[in-house]
Amino acid sequence: MMTKDPIDKLLDDAASGKSLFKNREVLHFTFMPDIVLHRDDEQKKVTQSLIPLLKKSRPSNLLIYGKPGTGKTLVVKKVLNKIQERVKDGSFPIQLLYANAKEETTLYGLLVKFGRQLGLVSQKELPTTGLSISEVFNRLMTVIEKNTLNTVFVVDEIDYLAELVSKTGKDVFYSLTRANERLKKGSLTLIGISNDLTFKERLDPRVLSSLSEEEIVFTNYTVNQIKEILTERIKQAFIPNVLDPAALNLCAAMSGQEHGDARRAIDLLRVAGEIAEREQADMVREDHIRGASLKMEEDKETTALNSYPLHEKLLILAVMKANGSTTGEIYQSYKNLCKTTRQKELTQRRVTQMLSEIEMTGLISGKIIHQGMHGRTKKFALTLNPETVKKAFKEDLVLEDLL
């Protein structure tokens, strides 16, 4: 665990008045709990599939999937740690490599991440850009052969590899799933993890069949299981008896409702704790959980709003100003905003297209109105609180004056 800088500690304590937290880190997303509840079966299955490693043979490739926050990353990391611990000083070299595709997004970046873990640390050995993907791939294979390594490559959130559906990406990825056949010495097993259940259908059938030699599905947690997972965390994260049992129930229910997302449950708890502390409350209560849920929803919306380019932002403002209006009226409102901010307006055609794109994200909603002999038109309304939009867009220098 990290020991805190003494100055920081003092300042933090002073800032928060009385603290409800004993150890906030426990609720951070990088924290690895010692106890993994309700995942015995999954831990066994993942371990079982990797056991050939200890018997000096190659495990099958493995595809793991299940909804977000169902413990996939946690279980895989835990199994890898345990195996690595055991084989640390064995005569049989095993290397377990992990990378998250969400952090890399390109196959090149992902392979470099693996390469670094294989010991290709310098730019000369493996440059961050510039080589062909197949050359990067070859360099990794060379290391494996030279050292007769038995390797497992874990690709977490594999669905983020956009290239998986492009021609070259598909081919390289296919080679990776079949890499083992090419190796004269050593071995390579691929583990893919995904929370996107449609991902399998989008995969090239060849890639899918070699990636999913074995499959493990993580089922959703029930509300009660979430509650027990939370109870464990609460013991470590908060000082005793500062969590109202009703708040715990509500937190578990809110996260369990949809599909039993343990991450959301833990996030809710952390944010609720912070809100309670800021209010100098002596306990985390139901209201704090509700407040946390609202805040998290708002943060998500703010992030989405801020990620839009300028004209999309102007258009969202136009919808806000002409709430519930037709496409034509919104276009008029948009043109006015362009004039005020001295931006060159886009065509109505383009704007209509942008409206549909924004509608898909759910920030605005559209309704088709039939106007008898005049045909039909679409009316748009903002689905979020105008205050959230204002707060988010105030950061944008061009829009600042409008708000």
Ligand X SMILES: Nc1ncnc2c1ncn2[C@@H]1O[C@H](COP(=O)(O)OP(=O)(O)OP(=O)(O)O)[C@@H](O)[C@H]1O
Residues within the interface to Mg ion (CB under 5 A) = 73
Contacts of 137 (CB under 8 A, 6+ apart): 111, 172, 175, 176, 179
Least distance CB 35 / ligand X (angstroms)? 7
In the list 195, 293, 325, 333, the residue contacting ligand X (rule: CB under 6 A) is 195
Q: Which residue is nearest to Mg ion (CB)?
A: 73
Taking CA atoms, 25 is separated from 18, 217, 327, in Å, by 17, 29, 49
Helix axes 327-341, 348-361, angle to 10 degrees: 100
73 versus 212: smaller Cβ distance to Mg ion: 73
Interface size with ligand X, residues (CB under 6 A) = 20
Determine, following the binding rule CB under 6 A, whether residue 292 of this chain makes contact with ligand X: no
In the numeric block, the tokens 């070299």 are attached to: 93
Least distance CB 212 / ligand X (angstroms)? 17
Least distance CB 216 / ligand X (angstroms)? 12
Determine, following the binding rule CB under 6 A, whether residue 259 of this chain makes contact with ligand X: no
Determine, following the binding rule CB under 6 A, whether residue 158 of this chain makes contact with ligand X: no
Helix axes 286-306, 262-278, angle to 10 degrees: 110
66 versus 115: smaller Cβ distance to ligand X: 66
67 versus 311: smaller Cβ distance to ligand X: 67
Beta-carbon neighbour count of residue 398 at 10 Å? 13
Residues numbered 38 to 77 that lie near ligand X (CB under 6 A) are 38-39, 66, 68-74
Q: Are the C-beta atoms of 71 and 65 separated by less than 8 Å?
A: no
Contacts of 133 (CB under 8 A, 6+ apart): 107, 108, 111, 168, 172
Q: Are the C-beta atoms of 221 and 70 separated by less than 8 Å?
A: yes
Determine, following the binding rule CB under 6 A, whether residue 291 of this chain makes contact with ligand X: no
Least distance CB 163 / ligand X (angstroms)? 20
Largest CA distance in the chain: 83
**Exposure string for 118-136, b = 16+ CB within 10 A, e = fewer:** bebeeeeebeeeebebeeb
Least distance CB 156 / Mg ion (angstroms)? 6
73 versus 151: smaller Cβ distance to Mg ion: 73
In 3-state terms the chain splits into helix, strand, coil percentages (rounded to 5) of 55, 15, 30
Least distance CB 224 / ligand X (angstroms)? 13
Q: Are the C-beta atoms of 195 and 66 separated by less than 8 Å?
A: yes
Q: Are the C-beta atoms of 238 and 230 separated by less than 8 Å?
A: no
Q: Which does 319 bind (CB under 5 to 8 A by kind): Mg ion, ligand X, none?
A: none
Q: Which does 94 bind (CB under 5 to 8 A by kind): ligand X, Mg ion, none?
A: none
CA 117 – CA 94 distance, rounded (Å) = 12
Least distance CB 155 / ligand X (angstroms)? 12
Q: Which does 39 bind (CB under 5 to 8 A by kind): Mg ion, ligand X, none?
A: ligand X
Determine, following the binding rule CB under 6 A, whether residue 273 of this chain makes contact with ligand X: no
Beta-carbon neighbour count of residue 89 at 10 Å? 5
Determine, following the binding rule CB under 6 A, whether residue 227 of this chain makes contact with ligand X: no
Determine, following the binding rule CB under 6 A, whether residue 266 of this chain makes contact with ligand X: yes
In the list 79, 229, 234, 320, the residue contacting ligand X (rule: CB under 6 A) is 229
Enumerate binding residues for ligand X (CB under 6 A): 29, 33, 36-39, 66, 68-74, 157, 195, 229, 262-263, 266
